Amino acid sequence: MEKLFPISINPQFCVRCEKCSYSCSTKAIFFRDSLRYVDYNKCKGCLKCVNVCEHNAIVVISLEEGRLIDFKIDN
C-alpha cells in the first residue's frame, strides 16, 4: 500500500537530537552509525516527526519521485 506522506530527512539540517525518533509511535525513524533511516513499511504518515523537528530537517515528499509537497502544520 502506498503511503500518503512519505518523508525524507535532510542530513544537512538534522542535528541528531532524535526528537523525531522519540515522537514516532511506530519506530519508523531510527539512527544507526551516525546515519538517519526511515522504514517506510512502518511509517503511517502521521507527520508527528515533521511537527517536532525544530530544524526543518524532515520534509514531506510526494508520491512522484523528487517532487516536494508544500504544506504547513499549525501548532
Averaged pLDDT in 10-residue chunks for the chain of 75 residues:
70 93 94 87 90 94 55 49
DSSP classification of residue 16: -
The predicted structure's pLDDT at residue 65: 54
In a domain, residue 73? The reply is no
In a domain, residue 38? The reply is yes
Contacts of 63 (CB under 8 A, 6+ apart): 2, 3, 6
In a domain, residue 39? The reply is yes
Q: Which of 67, 69, 24, 59 is nearest to 42 (CA)?
A: 24
In a domain, residue 68? The reply is no
- Report pTM: 0.71
The predicted structure's pLDDT at residue 62: 62
The predicted structure's pLDDT at residue 34: 79
Instruction: Provide the grid cell at 68.
Output: 516536494
Measured CA to CA, the distance from residue 16 to residue 38 in angstroms comes to 14
Measured CA to CA, the distance from residue 69 to residue 63 in angstroms comes to 9
In a domain, residue 67? The reply is no
In a domain, residue 43? The reply is yes
The predicted structure's pLDDT at residue 75: 46
Q: Which own/partner pairs from 64-72 qualify as long-range (CB within 8 Å, at least 24 positions apart)?
A: 69/5
